[in-house]
Amino acid sequence: MQSNFFEAVKTRRSVYAISKESPISDAKIQEIVEEAVLHSPTSFNSQTSRAVVLLGEQHDKLWDITTETLRKIVPADQFEGTAQKMGSFKSGYGTVLFFEDQAVVKQLQENYAAYADNFPIWSNQSSGMLQFVVWTAFAEVGLGASLQHYNPLIDDEVKETWGIPAEWKLIAELPFGSIAAAPGPKEFQPIEQRVKVFK
């Protein structure tokens, strides 16, 4: 078994204390995301996954949008905690937005009617695998990240701000940056309760 693969898997954690620095170049960040999109599996090799990388002021703008969107729905007396959380994401170096192209999903549903109900499920699974690949690859190069889900609240403004095609459905947001503080130890349920082997 390749230990380096599982070492990378173990390194990937939810890291909330991130900074506006990166241990790697913007070009390397782009390369990681592009390689992940190219090589992460999709059902029927449909290649439904899409990604948008926001750096610098564009990253800040995303979390300003999210903050102001939430300000409209979170009670004022409870907003301070929300604002602090948004600030922690904004304090990062960048964000990867994960999308799934619904035009491709709908075309698959039309072409393979017997599986029509499954294609949205398989699309989400494809996105999850892409998220894991990017997140793990980031961890391997020293970038901390956490997976967030402020969709669909921010979808319309995100699409308008960055000219995202209407058919792209926002699935998740991954703010990242240099690790300012490592996460604490992780507790595990007994593996015997989670894995069954029959011979």
Tell me if the pTM is above 0.85: yes
Q: Put residue 47 in one of left, alpha, beta given phi > 0 → left and psi -120 to 50 → alpha.
A: left
Query: Alpha carbon 164 to chain centroid distance?
Result: 16
pLDDT in tens, 67-104: 999 999 999 999 999 999 999 999 999 999 999 999 99
Q: What is the pLDDT of residue 165?
A: 98
